C-alpha cells in the first residue's frame, strides 16, 4: 500500500518545487516510498495542469510572476544591486551597449560610469530615463509599442531598430534559466525580440537572481552555451556549478 495518497504526493512535490525549483523522479520515489512509474505519472499530471514543467527524469518549477516594477525592484533588492555592481566590470571604453528591460537592469543603468564614453541603446523607457540623467552617456531609445507584460517595446518596430546596430555587449533580461533548456522568457514576442538582439551582438551578458535558477518559462530564447557572461550570486549554487564548467565568463556577486 502506498504511504501517501496521490493528492498528498502532489502537494509534497509542489512544496519541494517551491523550495528547490527542480525535482528528480528517482529521488522522489525514494522519499515518498513510491515507484518511479508512479512518480512519473504524478509529474505528468502536474505538468498537464500547468503546475510544473517536465524534463527528462524529473520536473522544474515554472517561472514565477514578478508583479509590478516597484515590487520587482524590491524583491531580492540587495542581490540585484550586487549583480548590477558586478556587471559594470564587463563594460569597456566606448562600448555600444544594449540594455534590455528588467528590474536588475534599471539598477545597472543607474550605476553606469560616466567616464567611458558609452552609447546605450534600450527598449525600456524606465532604463532610458536612468541613463539620460548621466550626461556623458549617449542614450538611444528604440521605437515601438510598449509591451505591458515586459515594460518595454518588443514588437516588429523595436526589432527593426535593433537591426541597425552592432552591440559590443548586450544585457538581456531573463525570466527563467534551466540547465536543460537554457534561458527563457514569458512572452513569445519578447523571445523573438531577444533573439534579434543576440544576432546583432558581439557578446551577450545575463544577470540572474537565485529565484530564476532551474525554473522554466514558455519561450526559450538562448541556449546556455551562447551566453558570454553570466553574473549570479553566491546563493545561485546550481548556476555557479554549471557555468564554471563551461567557457563562459562567470562573475560572482556577493550580496
Residue ending a domain, among 37, 62, 87, is 62
Model pLDDT for residues 13-54, shown as the tens digit of each residue: 988 887 777 888 888 998 898 999 899 999 988 888 878 888
Q: What's the whole-model pTM score?
A: 0.77
Q: Rounded to an integer, what distance in angstroms lies between the CA atom of residue 115 and that of residue 121?
A: 17
Q: Nearest Cα to 194, choosing from 167, 233, 213, 215?
A: 167
Q: In the 8-state DSSP scheme, what is residue 220?
A: E
Q: Residue 123 — very low, low, confident or very high, per pLDDT cuts 50/70/90?
A: very high
Q: Are 84 and 111 found together in one domain?
A: yes
Model pLDDT for residues 203-255, shown as the tens digit of each residue: 999 999 988 888 888 899 999 999 999 999 887 888 888 998 888 999 999 86
CB 25 within 8 A of CB 37: no
Q: Rounded to an integer, what distance in angstroms lies between the CA atom of residue 228 and that of residue 213?
A: 18
Read off the C-alpha cell for 102.
528588467
User: Is 1 part of any domain?
Assistant: no
Residue ending a domain, among 62, 93, 108, is 62
The tally of domains found in the chain comes to 2
Q: Rounded to an integer, what distance in angstroms lies between the CA atom of residue 95 and that of residue 115?
A: 12
User: Is 191 part of any domain?
Assistant: yes
Cβ within 8 Å of residue 182, ≥6 positions away: 220, 221, 222, 223, 224, 226
CA-to-CA separations, 212 to 36, 82, 192, 207, in angstroms, rounded: 27, 16, 20, 10
Domain that holds residue 248: 69-253
CB 139 within 8 A of CB 97: no
The mean predicted confidence, pLDDT, of the chain is 89
Q: Are 57 and 103 found together in one domain?
A: no
- Give the residue-averaged pLDDT of 105-131: 95
Q: Are 93 and 202 found together in one domain?
A: yes
Q: Are 20 and 134 found together in one domain?
A: no
Amino acid at each position: 500500500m502506498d504511504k501517501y495518497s496521490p493528492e498528498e504526493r502532489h502537494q509534497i512535490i509542489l512544496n519541494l518545487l517551491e523550495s528547490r525549483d527542480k525535482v528528480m523522479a528517482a529521488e522522489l520515489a525514494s522519499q515518498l516510498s513510491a515507484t518511479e512509474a508512479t512518480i512519473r505519472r504524478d509529474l505528468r499530471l502536474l505538468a498537464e495542469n500547468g503546475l510544473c514543467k517536465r524534463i527528462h527524469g524529473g520536473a522544474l518549477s515554472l517561472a514565477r510572476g514578478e508583479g509590478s516594477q516597484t515590487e520587482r525592484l524590491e524583491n531580492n533588492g540587495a542581490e540585484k544591486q550586487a549583480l548590477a555592481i558586478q556587471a559594470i566590470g564587463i563594460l569597456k571604453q566606448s562600448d555600444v551597449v544594449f540594455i534590455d528591460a528588467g528590474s536588475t537592469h534599471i539598477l545597472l543603468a543607474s550605476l553606469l560610469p560616466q567616464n567611458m564614453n558609452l552609447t546605450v541603446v534600450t527598449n525600456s523607457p524606465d532604463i532610458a530615463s536612468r541613463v539620460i540623467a548621466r550626461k556623458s552617456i549617449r542614450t538611444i531609445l528604440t521605437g515601438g509599442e510598449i509591451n505591458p507584460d515586459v515594460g518595454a517595446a518588443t514588437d516588429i518596430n523595436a526589432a527593426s531598430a535593433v537591426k541597425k546596430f552592432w552591440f559590443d555587449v548586450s544585457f538581456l533580461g531573463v525570466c527563467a534559466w534551466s540547465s536543460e533548456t537554457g534561458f527563457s522568457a514569458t512572452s513569445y514576442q519578447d523571445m523573438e525580440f531577444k533573439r534579434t538582439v543576440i544576432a546583432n551582438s558581439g557578446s551577450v551578458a545575463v544577470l540572474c537572481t537565485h529565484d530564476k535558477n532551474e525554473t522554466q518559462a514558455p519561450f526559450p530564447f538562448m541556449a546556455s552555451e551562447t551566453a558570454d557572461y553570466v553574473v549570479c550570486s553566491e546563493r545561485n549554487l546550481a548556476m555557479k556549478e554549471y557555468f564554471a564548467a563551461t567557457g563562459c565568463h562567470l562573475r560572482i556577486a556577493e550580496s
